[in-house]
Amino acid sequence: MEQFDFGTATILFTDVDDTLTTDGQLRPETYQALWRLAQANVAVVPVTGGCAGWCDQIIRTWPVSAVIGEGGAFYISKDADKKLHWSFWDTREQHKIDQANIISDVQSMAEGDGIVFAKDQPFRLVDVAIDYNQDHRMAPEQVASIMLQLENLGYRVKKSSIHLNISKGNFDKSTMALRLGEQLFGLTAAELSQQAICIGDAPNDESMFSQFPQSVGVANIVPHLDTMTHKPAYVTSERCGGGFVQLADHWLSQLQ
Ligand SMILES: [Mg+2]
């Protein structure tokens, strides 16, 4: 990490779960690191698979310039009057139709009765999340069968450690990061790749590592590296939020 050159970067895309949070919690030193970066004029943009309700809280209360949520389905920004602006990948109406179709297809599956939606489903605007390992346990073979059936229906299914996330559309974390770069910062994809650093912890951050050469993984990414095609350029020695603090410390030391 000491050798990492932040160059003229001014934007930080950061994953949230297990990158900012440590064992599920946002620790004071990590939250302070977000503030220290923001006070040094780094535009911090969390990029999360988390639900819209969670993103609404983040943009209102954290020192961030924007937030990308539900795996790239939308971003929220805030103007000088603190008014929020939502920007969806497709139209809001189209996402609503797609989400209703996914829910109806899931409910009509043979396993329908045994499928439990995530507790935060009412706070999702695009994504549909099936709980297989959060408050409800599902057998691995049943999870695999549900995934296959949904993929055969033309949906995109991503498996996190707790949920199956189902959506329709060709967005991901990095395609929305590029769109945000153009719309909020007026940067082309090439310019954004030069100006932005990204940090993450898991295979679902691969699209970001692939797009942004100045990429960092927190130490808990190490067990996943063998299965990943696009790996971060550097890995911190500390895990989760501690690794994020290391990135902030090095970046701020180079700005002085
Ligand atoms: Mg994560």
pLDDT tens digits along 123-180: 999 999 999 988 999 999 999 999 999 999 999 998 887 889 999 999 999 999 999 9
Q: What is the mean pLDDT of the chain?
A: 94
Give dist(CA 116, CA 163) in Å, integer.
Answer: 10
Is pLDDT of 112 > 80? Answer: no
Six-digit token string for 73: 């389905």
Using the mean position of ligand 1's atoms as its centre, give its distance from the Cα of residue 118 in Å: 18
Multiple choice CATH, 11-89+171-255, 3.40.50.970, 3.10.20.30, 3.40.50.1000, 3.40.50.720: 3.40.50.1000
Using the mean position of ligand 1's atoms as its centre, give its distance from the Cα of residue 208 in Å: 12
Give dist(CA 10, CA 64) in Å, integer.
Answer: 13
Give dist(CA 168, CA 158) in Å, integer.
Answer: 11
Using the mean position of ligand 1's atoms as its centre, give its distance from the Cα of residue 149 in Å: 26
Give dist(CA 212, CA 233) in Å, integer.
Answer: 9
Smallest Cα–Cα separation from 200: which of 159, 241, 154?
241
Where in the chain are all domains bearing CATH 3.40.50.1000? 11-89+171-255
Tell me what pLDDT residue 175 has. Answer: 97
Among 55-59, 95-99, 105-109, which stretch is predicted with the lowest mean pLDDT?
Answer: 105-109
Using the mean position of ligand 1's atoms as its centre, give its distance from the Cα of residue 210 in Å: 16
Residue 100: enclosing H or E segment and its boundaries? Answer: helix 92-107
Which is more confidently placed, 101 or 1? 101
| 28 phi, psi to nearest 5 deg | -60, -40
Where in the chain are all domains bearing CATH 3.90.1070.10? 93-167
Using the mean position of ligand 1's atoms as its centre, give its distance from the Cα of residue 94 in Å: 27
Using the mean position of ligand 1's atoms as its centre, give its distance from the Cα of residue 51 in Å: 14
Smallest Cα–Cα separation from 19: which of 250, 242, 183?
242
In whole angstroms, what separates CA 143 from the centre of its chain?
Answer: 23
Is pLDDT of 58 > 80? Answer: yes
Structural contact between residues 181 and 194, judged by C-beta atoms closer than 8 angstroms: no
Using the mean position of ligand 1's atoms as its centre, give its distance from the Cα of residue 16 in Å: 6
Mean pLDDT of 101-113: 88
Tell me what pLDDT residue 131 has. Answer: 94
Ion ligand 1, residues whose Cβ is below 5 A away: 15, 17-18, 201-202
pLDDT category of residue 22 using cuts at 50, 70 and 90:
very high
Tell me what pLDDT residue 160 has. Answer: 81
CATH number of 93-167: 3.90.1070.10
* Global confidence as pTM: 0.93
Using the mean position of ligand 1's atoms as its centre, give its distance from the Cα of residue 199 in Å: 9
Structural contact between residues 83 and 51, judged by C-beta atoms closer than 8 angstroms: no
Give dist(CA 12, CA 105) in Å, integer.
Answer: 38
Using the mean position of ligand 1's atoms as its centre, give its distance from the Cα of residue 49 in Å: 8
Count helices and strands (H / E) in the chain.
8, 11
Among 64-78, 83-97, 148-162, which stretch is predicted with the lowest mean pLDDT?
Answer: 148-162
Mean pLDDT of 188-202: 96
Give the three-state DSSP class for 54.
Answer: helix
Mean pLDDT of 189-201: 96
In this prediction, what percent of the chain has a pLDDT beyond 70?
A: 100
Give the CA distances from residue 209 to residues 42, 72, 105, 187, 188, in Å, rounded to whole numbers and listed in that order: 19, 15, 33, 18, 18
Using the mean position of ligand 1's atoms as its centre, give its distance from the Cα of residue 240 in Å: 9
Using the mean position of ligand 1's atoms as its centre, give its distance from the Cα of residue 168 in Å: 21
Tell me what pLDDT residue 204 has. Answer: 86
Q: 81: Cβ–Cβ under 8 A, 6 or more apart, which residues?
A: none
Which is more confidently placed, 112 or 42? 42
Smallest Cα–Cα separation from 126: which of 68, 205, 180?
68
Tell me what pLDDT residue 87 has. Answer: 98
Using the mean position of ligand 1's atoms as its centre, give its distance from the Cα of residue 108 in Å: 31
Mean pLDDT of 22-34: 97
Is pLDDT of 214 > 80? Answer: yes
pLDDT category of residue 110 using cuts at 50, 70 and 90:
confident
Is pLDDT of 111 > 90? Answer: no
Tell me what pLDDT residue 158 has. Answer: 86
Using the mean position of ligand 1's atoms as its centre, give its distance from the Cα of residue 79 in Å: 27
Within a 10 A sphere around the Cβ of 176, how many other Cβ atoms? 23
Is pLDDT of 226 > 80? Answer: yes
